[in-house]
Amino acid sequence: MSEQTIDFLFLSEEDMIKAGVRDMGACIDTMEEVISCLNKGDYVMGGQNHNSHGSQLCFPKTSPFPNMPVDEGDDRRFMAMPAYLGGSFDLAGMKWYGSNSANRDKGLPRSILTVMLNDKDTGAPLALMSANILSAMRTGAIPGVGARYLAGKDAISCGICGPGVMGKTSLEAILTACPGIKEVKVKGRGRKSLEAFVKSEGAKYAGRVEIRAVDTVEELVKDTDVICFANSGNTDPSTYPLVKGEWLKKGALIIGVSCFELDQDFMAENCSLIVDNTALYEAWAEEFPYPSFGMNNIIGSKFTDMIHDGLIKKEDMIDLGDVISGKRPGRKSDEDIIIFSVGGMPVEDVAWGKVCYERAKALGIGQSLRLWDKPEMA
């Protein structure tokens, strides 16, 4: 084999499972290292600001071309999410996916995802992997890192809004980070999905936690120590789950993986506001000019709107990396109410992809594919 020969590893979903993609404890540790890399600036994502979430292909509302998909409110889109991540990872990669809510009618996930890892110098592919589980795990693991550093030490109850995949992986991560939790409440929009969640997660955590469905956001958050919003959402804040400040328990941690609404004056006066990567929200504020919240449904964009309005100062939006490194306090007291915003970034896919890729190589898992023996057009 010459130096010009390029092989790369293909990892199916079954291969990824064998390589440990579902190892939540290791995924949380990996995501903590990712956040530390972000905090140091040892990464690059897309765009001139190096902090773009990705490049999204959205279809028009109408089209004169009969074969072109149109936006009918069913989440039809494609997205490319490139990144380089330094630290111990030190490689480039990209998550690529297509999304269509109608997929569920065919027994398919809404989004079908792959991750490609590349050598940072030559650009050569190292691995192409199935990434639906990978993405779900890294999404849940960030709330796990947040719970590790921000939840009250005596947390015993958890609330999950959204009984889908993100709700399940977020719950797994929170229970991993907070082993004292004994009660889980879950809220959803449909009885069928709620019952399925209670049944599947109840069996998974049998003997450890009690899981029950609730009907309202008030029931979900009242007397609850750790609350995670992992529900689906759109660009209309009036449709988001509404949390009232008086419902919140002193010391509660609210994790926003997806959308929810909370009065900005209450947040400014009563809450610590923490994000997974400050630069991401600043980039979103450029991409979605004020008011950003709504156009981007992650609660951290409401933080940047509050900065714009003078309700809080820039330094009041705390980076979790500063908490991990000890530069800033996370929880100031047992009664501190904390809101932690989770944006989701391709560096996370690259990092967990790298860990699974290395495990697969060590275990001899996957199929080696040849790009070429010798490039024809070098």
Q: Are residues 256 and 328 in the same domain?
A: yes
CA distance 124 to 6: 7
What is the DSSP-derived secondary structure letter of residue 245?
A: G
The pLDDT tens digits of the residues spanning 20-71 come to 999 999 999 999 999 999 999 999 999 999 999 999 998 999 999 999 999 8
Q: Is 186 in the same domain as 73? A: no
Do 107 and 232 belong to one domain?
Answer: no
Report the pLDDT value the prediction gives residue 235, as an integer from 0 to 100: 83
* Same domain flag for 228 and 160: yes
Q: Assess whether 90 and 220 both reside in one domain.
A: no
Report how far residue 263's alpha carbon sits from residue 39's, in angstroms, rounded to the nearest whole number. 28
CA 208 to chain centre: 25
Question: Is residue 116 in some structural domain?
Answer: yes
Distances (CA, A) of 157 to 145, 178, 188, 197, 298: 17, 10, 18, 17, 24
In a domain, 143, yes or no: no
Convert the pLDDT of each residue in 266-282 to its tens digit: 999 999 999 999 999 99
Separation CA 184–CA 211 (nearest Å): 5
d(C-alpha 44, C-alpha 92), whole Å:
9
Lowest mean pLDDT among 45-59, 133-147, 314-328, 354-368: 45-59
Same domain, 27 and 56: yes
| Residue 157, pLDDT above cutoff 80 | yes
Residue 232 has pLDDT above 90, yes or no: no
Are 340 and 309 contained in the same domain? Answer: yes
Same domain, 340 and 253: yes
Residue from 117, 3, 9 nearest 365 by CA: 9
The 10s digit of each residue's pLDDT in 58-101 is 899 999 999 999 988 768 889 999 999 999 999 999 999 999 98
- Is 378 contained in some domain? no
Is residue 365 in some structural domain? Answer: yes
pLDDT by residue (tens digit) across 179-221? 999 999 999 998 899 999 999 999 999 999 999 999 999 999 9
Average pLDDT, the chain: 96
In-domain check, residue 65: yes
Is 12 within the bounds of a domain? Answer: yes
pLDDT score recorded for residue 233: 84
The contacts of residue 315 (CB under 8 Å, 6+ apart) are none
In this structure, the answer to whether residues 224 and 247 fall within a common structural domain is yes
62 and 174 inside one domain:
no
- Residue 176 located in a structural domain: yes
8 A C-beta contact, residue 7 and residue 371: yes
Residue at 216 is within a domain:
yes
State residue 74's pLDDT score: 67
pLDDT for the residue numbered 71: 87
Could you list the residue range(s) of the whole structural domain that residue 26 is in? 6-134+347-372
Do 314 and 236 fall into the same domain? yes
Average pLDDT for 144-169: 97
Count up the domains in the chain and report the number: 2
Between CA 360 and CA 148 the distance in angstroms is: 28
pLDDT of residue 101: 87
Q: What's the number of CA atoms in the CB half-sphere (13 Å) around residue 358?
A: 9
